[in-house]
Amino acid sequence: MADVARMTDTALYALPETAECQRVAHWLALHGWSEGSGGNFSVRLDALPATLASLNEGEPRPVPMAVPALGRRHLLVSGTGTRARDIAEAPHEGLGLFRIAPDGGSYTFLAGNDRPTSEMPSHLAIHAALVETRPEHRAIVHTHPPRLIAATHLSEFEDGGRMADVLLRMQSEALLHLPDGFAVLPYHLPGSLELGIASAAAVRRCEVVVWRYHGALATGRSLDAALDTLEYLDKTAEIYWILRSAGITPEGIPAAAAEQALRAFGRWDRYARWRPE
């Protein structure tokens, strides 16, 4: 039995996605965004190496909302209550591998940590939306960047479109990296299906979703790419608060300069679709 567990751990370690989880967990902890067990992440695997594909499955667990788009696919998911800093050191203890049933109505545990994140409803709903809208995005990172969360407390940012426009015009690279802006959801109960459904609807339009008073999530081709996106966005919130703390209300990159840059990179149309008047 112990030998089987050891072989499974070895197979889990051999996945390139596991090394990526380690790397990203390390940075989430270093950034101070994933305090305690705050935050979670997952990667979709469409095929598994034979050593993992042949593992015995646990009992089927119902999903809160059927996700047929994920049928027969696998998710490598951070465990509930696990610390990013611990996953960085011992990934097989914090990460779990799960297989979605062919009809998308349940999932089974395969290896690693068998207690997935409490935000599993969101991860499942978002991955299902990604398969349909941009299947190359296989990764989701959810974390708690304090400067971004602080901005969601401002009454002037009650309008999420305004918050996205003001923050993204704090820094030119951020604007170019996020021409679709980001969605800001009203407060929802953490771990709820309601939060998952709202987030899945939002990722069909943009790569970042801010959860008011809670945190943010990004999708990406890889966990590293999703973390990059959150770093670009966090930088804008940092600049915003530096200026506000100095008593300055930042005006941001002038509209004409923003338009020129976005047009130069062929991204103007994407920004023009959502920017507030």
When asked if residue 165 is in the footprint of ligand 13P (CB under 6 A), the reply is no
Please name the helix (run of DSSP H) or strand (run of DSSP E) that holds residue 184, with its range, or none.
strand 183-185
What is the C-alpha to C-alpha distance for residues 89 and 84, in angstroms, rounded to an integer?
Answer: 9
CA distance 21 to 13: 10
Query: Scanning residues 203 to 242, which ones bind ligand 13P (CB under 6 A)?
Result: none
Site track 167-206 with Zn ion (rule: CB under 5 A), x = hit: ----------------------------------------
The CB-of-135 to Zn ion minimum distance in angstroms stands at 25
Residue 67 sits at the vertex; the CA angle it makes with 11 and 160, to the nearest 5 degrees, is: 105
At closest approach, how far in Å is the CB of 122 from Zn ion? Answer: 9
Q: Quick one: which segment of 42-50, 92-100, 116-124, 235-243 binds ligand 13P (CB under 6 A)?
A: 116-124
Question: Distance (Å, rounded) from C-alpha 101 to C-alpha 98?
Answer: 10
Asked whether 127 and 120 are in contact (CB, 8 A), the reply is no
Give the x/- contact pattern for ligand 13P in 74-113, rule: CB under 6 A: ------xx--------------------------------
Counting contacts by CB under 5 A, is residue 215 touching Zn ion?
yes
Q: Could you say which of ligand 13P, Zn ion, none residue 222 binds, taking C-beta under 5 to 8 angstroms by partner kind?
A: none
- When CB distances are held under 5 to 8 angstroms depending on the partner's kind, the choice from Zn ion, ligand 13P, none that residue 37 binds is ligand 13P
Residue 203 to residue 188: CA distance in whole angstroms: 16
Three-state DSSP at 11 gives: helix
* Under 8 Å between Cβ of 160 and 183: yes
Contacts of ligand 13P in 178-197 (CB under 6 A): 190
CB of 172: closest distance to ligand 13P in angstroms? 31
Q: Which residues of 174-185 are buried (b: 16+ CB within 10 A; e: fewer)?
A: bbbbbbbbbbbb
51 binds, among Zn ion, ligand 13P, none (CB under 5 to 8 A by kind): none
Residue of the chain from 119, 165, 207, 234 that contacts ligand 13P (CB under 6 A): 119
Whole-angstrom distance, CA of residue 129 vs CA of residue 184: 18
Piece in contact with Zn ion (CB under 5 A), picked from 78-86, 105-113, 166-174, 213-221:
213-221
Choosing from 51, 118, 172, 192, the residue that interacts with ligand 13P (CB under 6 A) is: 118
Helices then strands, counting H and E runs in the chain, come out as: 13, 9
Give the closest residue to 200 by CA, choosing from 247, 114, 134, 109.
134
Q: Which residues, numbered 9-68, are part of the site for ligand 13P (CB under 6 A)?
A: 37-40
Residues in touch with Zn ion (CB under 5 A): 215
Residues in touch with ligand 13P (CB under 6 A): 37-40, 80-81, 117-119, 190
